[in-house]
Amino acid sequence: MDSMALYEHVFIARQDISNAQAEGLIEHFGQVLKDNGGDVVGHEYWGLRTLAYKVNKNRKGHYGFMRSDSPADAVHEMERLMRLHDDVMRVMTIRVDEHEEGPSAVIQAKSSRDDRGRGRRGGRRDD
């Protein structure tokens, strides 16, 4: 059995699937890792985001993020299946020395934008 390593995986799914289907892909590929001796430490759905350029005629894509502690063979099998899946457009896996605690930078940035937006909606400001 291969030794375990820490990885972060990001994939982009087609824009015309639903949010629930995109989140289902995260669960599905997490199960592939588990079935091959890995463990999913955490996962996030980053939402439907605009791409920097068109990919397979899509201007947007659903982003999924997973943190795993898995052997290399499990990661290779998951990536192979992602590349064969019709709904997945791009895949990126990075080996990391350690997983960061808490939500990813993407989720942190989104929540800080949400917090800033709430302050402005309250009505007129009296100075």
The verdict on residue 126 lying in a domain is no
The verdict on residue 125 lying in a domain is no
The verdict on residue 64 lying in a domain is yes
d(CA 27, CA 35): 12
- Strand partners for 69: 6, 39
CATH of the domain at 71: 3.30.70.60
Q: Where are the alpha helices (DSSP H) in the chain?
A: 19-35, 72-84, 105-120
Among candidates 38, 4, 19, 10, which has minimal Cα distance to 105?
10
Helix (H, G, I), strand (E, B), or coil: what is residue 37? coil
Mean pLDDT, the chain, rounded, equals 88
The verdict on residue 127 lying in a domain is no
Q: Which two tokens stand for residue 91?
A: 């895949």
The verdict on residue 80 lying in a domain is yes
The verdict on residue 124 lying in a domain is no
The verdict on residue 58 lying in a domain is yes
pTM of the model: 0.81
Structural domain for 115, as ranges: 4-119
Residue 1 above 60 pLDDT? Answer: no
Among candidates 107, 84, 93, 90, which has minimal Cα distance to 14?
90
The verdict on residue 57 lying in a domain is yes
Q: Would you state the pLDDT for residue 42?
A: 93
d(CA 50, CA 59): 6
pLDDT category of residue 124 using cuts at 50, 70 and 90: very low
Domain count, the chain: 1
- Strand partners for 4: 71
Q: What does residue 102 show for φ and ψ, rounded to 5 degrees? A: 80, -170
d(CA 70, CA 38): 4
